[in-house]
Amino acid sequence: MSAMNYRKYASYPQVGLTDRTWPDKTITRAPVWCSVDLRDGNQALPIPMSVDEKVEYFRLLVSVGFKEIEVGFPSASATEFAFVRRLIDNHLIPDDVSIQVLTQSREHLIRRTFEAIQGAKNAVVHLYNSTSRQQRDIVFRMSCEEIISIAVAGTRLVRELKEASGNPGIRFEYSPESFTGTELNYALDVCHAVMEEWGASAENKVILNLPSTVELSTPNIYADRIEWFCRNISNRDAAIISVHAHNDRGTAVATSELALMAGADRIEGALFGNGERCGNMDIIIMALNLMTQGIDPKLDFSDLPHIREVYSRCTRMTVHARQPYSGELVYTAFSGSHQDAISKGMKAHKRSPDGIWDVPYLPIDPQDVGCTYEAIVRINSQSGKGGIAYVLEKDYGILIPKWMQPDFGNAVQEVADRTGDELSPEQIHELFQKEYIGSTSPYQLKKCNISWSDEDPEHIDEVSTLISCSVLGPKGEITFKAKGNGPLDAFVRGMVSHTGIEFHVDEYSEHAIGHSSDALALSYIRLAFENGVLSCGSGIDSNISLASIKAIVSALNRSLRS
């Protein structure tokens, strides 16, 4: 039996919308975006932003591309008022950007708000009052009619003050605050009364913001409410339907996306989801969700690291490492199977003729949001051979062949398990050097001369390569001459003959590191011994034959070490 007292909670009511159409809709274009970082986000901070910090943040929002920015609640505090005046008096607001200011539907607050925006070219006065059953019955103890009268009185005053200002750039937004807790028919009645008082028309639209002030239901029910509202509003062309979703249930992005499908025109939210309780809807997530579907989000998040830095410095808040799109680890894979898929996907993308992004585990190209490929694959005890090989190839041009990847993977795994730490690319490269290139005991190549007794290409399979070598071994220096059908074959024959160790070359691969005349050759060898043991080695040299011979010595030493 559950220890949680779930019986004290009641389920949220459904909307009687049996012929809903939004599930069949597709989002095809970006909504009108409105940032509420400087108001809703700021009021949720333990230490609110100073005027200077708000100015810097405002400039960031403008650079991202926001055309509507809620800058504060100027009647609430001297700091808020001073910030709005700074923006206007210092001409910091671009001509194509509307500032938005919030006010309760109370006369002295509305008048103070108009004092704050005097001189602004474009401004949205955002009026609200609470309409939910809880607020009516518990907080205000008012009837439905009394609540409507508050909304209408506030709207009337805003209209009169706009007319008195002579500023045609002032627009009006109304929020039946706590819409999710308000009966739908009643919310519609309030909005109709406000629209009538404002004189809303297709030429003089009102923004009706229907907030999920407290997220109380699954996103589909909120979408039903939005579709029902859009269907039943008396003059749909006279209203811009806006939504403002909070994240109490962790579904604010889904709530906003489904609301857009259900008929909403405008989305309010904040960068990184900052806001009261569990936060506002994260505009970065929703905008980049649109981009991953091939839709222009109309916002520029191509430098998320910079945006994150300004946000953290101004708000003193941190961005979670797993925050979608924005977190430090969201483009990083530690899992071996994920690393292997990403590595193959990145290579396939380079060969893609249409350039469409199609990489496993990466719904977006990190470079599109200002992140690099350097941190996509990181190595710890959970990592696999493919990820390890990807790191060496990307950072050092070392292309470990598939047949050798498990061998080096085991070496990396042993270190990761022993230390319990993540291994950096530098550490992985050092381990490769130590494990293979630096394997010089008990045998070490001292000298090697190669010549050919027959250079006729038609006889390349003949035993015509002569080799003269000096190898330092456990019992002293070994000097031998041997003949084979190539340098490797000749060296193996000589070593088998003089050491008594029976082995042959089982796998071989090589490539160049660098593209200039002084490029080095890197060789990979797997030796098979008469007792069934397989051992891998690697060698590097400006001469490909010597690199391969060094790889044989490396593999031989590693077999004796194990």
Q: Is pLDDT at 458 greater than 60 in this prediction? A: no
Q: Is pLDDT at 403 greater than 90 in this prediction? A: yes
Q: Quick one: tokens of 320?
A: 């979670």
Amino acid letter at 507? E
Q: Is pLDDT at 28 greater than 90 in this prediction? A: yes
pLDDT of residue 1: 52
Considering the four listed CATH numbers 3.30.160.270, 3.40.50.1000, 3.65.10.10, 3.30.70.1090, the one that applies to the domain covering 444-561 is 3.30.160.270
- Over residues 389-407, the mean pLDDT reads 90
Name the pLDDT band for 407 (thresholds 50, 70, 90). very high
pLDDT of residue 7: 84
pLDDT of residue 390: 81
Degrees, nearest 5: CA angle 487-488-494: 90
pLDDT of residue 454: 60
pLDDT in tens, 224-243: 999 999 999 999 999 999 99
pLDDT of residue 342: 84
Rounded to a whole number of angstroms, the distance between the first and last alpha carbons of the chain is 56
> Closest Cα partner for 429 from 443, 408, 404, 402?
408
What distance lies between CA 524 and its chain's CA centroid?
Answer: 37
Q: Around Cβ 498, how many Cβ atoms within 10 Å?
A: 15
Helix/strand/coil (H, E, C) string of 124-137? EEEEEEECCHHHHH
Task: Provide, rounded to the nearest whole percent, the portion of the chain with pLDDT above 70.
Answer: 95
Contacts of 285 (CB under 8 A, 6+ apart): 253, 273, 324, 325, 326
Name the pLDDT band for 424 (thresholds 50, 70, 90). confident
Name the pLDDT band for 461 (thresholds 50, 70, 90). low
Name the pLDDT band for 518 (thresholds 50, 70, 90). confident
Q: Is pLDDT at 383 greater than 70 in this prediction? A: no
pLDDT in tens, 529-540: 999 999 999 999
- Over residues 471-498, the mean pLDDT reads 93
Q: Is pLDDT at 75 greater than 70 in this prediction? A: yes
- Over residues 520-525, the mean pLDDT reads 95
> Of 460 and 309, which is predicted with more confidence?
309
8 Å CB contact between 336 and 385: yes
Contacts of 166 (CB under 8 A, 6+ apart): none
Q: Quick one: tokens of 491?
A: 């060296």
pLDDT in tens, 140-187: 899 999 999 999 999 999 999 999 999 999 999 999 999 999 999 999
pLDDT of residue 381: 56
Q: Where in the chain is the domain with CATH 3.30.160.270?
A: 444-561
Q: Is pLDDT at 459 greater than 70 in this prediction? A: no
Q: Is pLDDT at 393 greater than 90 in this prediction? A: no
DSSP structure string for 447-512:
EEEEEES---GGGTTSS-EEEEEEEEETTEEEEEEEEESSHHHHHHHHHHHHH---EEEEEEEEEE
pLDDT in tens, 249-275: 999 999 999 999 999 999 999 999 999
Q: Is pLDDT at 378 greater than 80 in this prediction? A: no
Peptide bond into 324 cis (omega under 30): no
Peptide bond into 401 cis (omega under 30): no
For the ranges 55-69, 422-436, 445-459, 470-484, the one whose mean pLDDT is highest: 55-69
> Closest Cα partner for 240 from 174, 288, 158, 188?
174
The mean pLDDT value of the chain amounts to 92
- Over residues 124-129, the mean pLDDT reads 97
Amino acid letter at 317? M
Task: Provide, rounded to the nearest whole percent, the portion of the chain with pLDDT above 90.
Answer: 78
Name the helix (H) or strand (E) containing 548. helix 544-561
Q: Is pLDDT at 43 greater than 80 in this prediction? A: yes
* Second CATH level (architecture) for the domain 20-302: Alpha-Beta Barrel (3.20)
Q: Where in the chain is the domain with CATH 3.20.20.70?
A: 20-302
pLDDT of residue 385: 73
pLDDT of residue 504: 95
pLDDT of residue 562: 62
Name the pLDDT band for 341 (thresholds 50, 70, 90). confident
Q: Is pLDDT at 192 greater than 70 in this prediction? A: yes
CA dist., res. 547 & res. 538, Å (int) = 8
pLDDT of residue 336: 67
Q: Is pLDDT at 521 greater than 60 in this prediction? A: yes
- The sign of the CA dihedral 64, 69, 70, 71 is positive
> Of 454 and 319, which is predicted with more confidence?
319
Q: Is pLDDT at 373 greater than 70 in this prediction? A: no
pLDDT of residue 248: 96
pLDDT of residue 507: 95
Q: Quick one: tokens of 466?
A: 């002569």
CA dist., res. 541 & res. 547, Å (int) = 5
- The sign of the CA dihedral 182, 251, 258, 315 is positive
pLDDT of residue 456: 57
